[in-house]
Amino acid sequence: MQTDSSFTFVLFGGTGDLSMRKILPALFEAHRAGGMLADSGKIVAVARHATNRGEYIEWVNEHVKPHVSKNGVDETAWASFLERIEFVNIDLGKAEDFIHLRDAIKDLPGIRVFYLATGPSLFVPICHALASVGLNENSRIVLEKPLGYDLKSSNAINDAVGEIFAEEQIYRIDHYLGKEPVQNLLALRFGNALFEPLWRREWVESIQITIAEELGVEARGDFYDNTGALRDMVQNHLLQLLSIVAMEPPHSMDSDSVRDEKLRVLRALKPIDPRDIGKVAVRGQYHSGVIRGTAVPAYATESGVRPDSTTETFVALKVEIENWRWAGVPFFLRTGKRLADRVAEIVVNFRAVPHSALGASALRAGANRLVIRLQPNETIRLYCLAKQPGEGMNLASVHLDLAFDQFFREGQMEAYQRLLLDVINGRLALFVRRDEQEAAWRWVEPILNEWKVSNKPPKPYASGTWGPAASSAMLAQHGTCWLEEEN
């Protein structure tokens, strides 16, 4: 991905956790690779927790450097990367301070990218302050999730930002869309005649999408206790992955063609009747337990969490899509913290053969299955049935593996690296359009409202397990179960 696009990348929240762990390391990797970032491109960090450039560079060396290059840091590349970085100390709550930012970047070259790695409460004030000094013109703005607390608050932010930036200037980031296996899902479906004829209700029995974490809320208790798993993971990551799995073939890979097809899926999601939420939605909260031999505390005792909190740390949903391709096929979504493993994957369960000419062992061995793993190791695995060696026709499940790190010699590009390069180069296909976001909130909101009205506590589950038993029971009603394999 070569570019000669000059740029000025302004990073609000330059000393925040996201900047430290993801954004600056991703920009370094693009710099180190050579040719991905224009030589004239500059990174301007904006923060209050440093007073000058020298102090900020010290912070970068201490906090960012440990997160870059798994195989060690190329010191020459690191030194030249630091030369790209400038620093501006301003108070984001004072619009008049943005004059200093304008003056600091007025002579810097190329397209201006403003990355808001801040809390959502600052999105609108920052945009107004940028407009007050004329920095909203000929620029791009990147908004991190969460974008709002519900449909109303999301619309309020989008309305306010939309008064200052045109839709084609706004990049709403969802890092799961930048992951290599998600890109390969598009290639798998739309680049191969083998799979597309099977990608429909006649041949697919069910689809599972799981994003599981071993970690708890860590130092984010205050934020998470006012958010919960449904807002934090389902409304964005899981529904975006579902829309890519279920979308129709776009006529091209340009930004609006892809996003138009995703929007059609989101609008086709079957609305959930509040009376049925107990049957199709499971919410849980982790209690104390053991993960990889280490005792971990209950959610209610985490720092920043209310002791009587009813916030969910686990959600499992049964979703249906009301269109010609997917009518009658259940999509099962699952996400949670303090689960048995860290894994993100898509599982396509194909229907069994209509008649077992090969005997009972074919039925016991199971049907075909395609597993697309997004993390921790990025693979695509196709499960088929084959005859076991020896006498008789005894079948067993075998699999074909595509492990990207083994097949492709060059290193994998991290999600944030790909997405930041797309922002710099003006590619919108992997970013969420406003109407997509609205459709997702509109579908999620009845669940949120019913949980609030009913005030039922979430179902408990021990840390280190796969969540409440009710999650497995929901799938058992449909004659299936969650795929739970060890990495």
Decide if 237 is catalytic: yes
Q: What is the DSSP letter of 1?
A: -
For 7, half-sphere exposure in the C-beta direction (CA atoms, 13 angstrom radius) is 27
What is the Cα–Cα distance from 253 to 393, expressed in whole angstroms?
46
What is the Cα–Cα distance from 127 to 141, expressed in whole angstroms?
9
β-partners of residue 322 are: none
What is the Cα–Cα distance from 254 to 426, expressed in whole angstroms?
11
What SS3 class is residue 153?
helix
The count of other CB atoms within 10 Å of the CB of residue 84 is: 17
Between the CA of residue 380 and those of 232, 345, 358, what are the distances in Å? 26, 10, 27
Q: Which of 31, 128, 175, 237 is catalytic?
A: 237
What is the Cα–Cα distance from 483 to 487, expressed in whole angstroms?
12
Return the structure tokens found at 152: 């109303």
**Contact by Cβ (8 Å): 14, 87:** yes
What SS3 class is residue 319?
strand
Catalytic positions are: 237
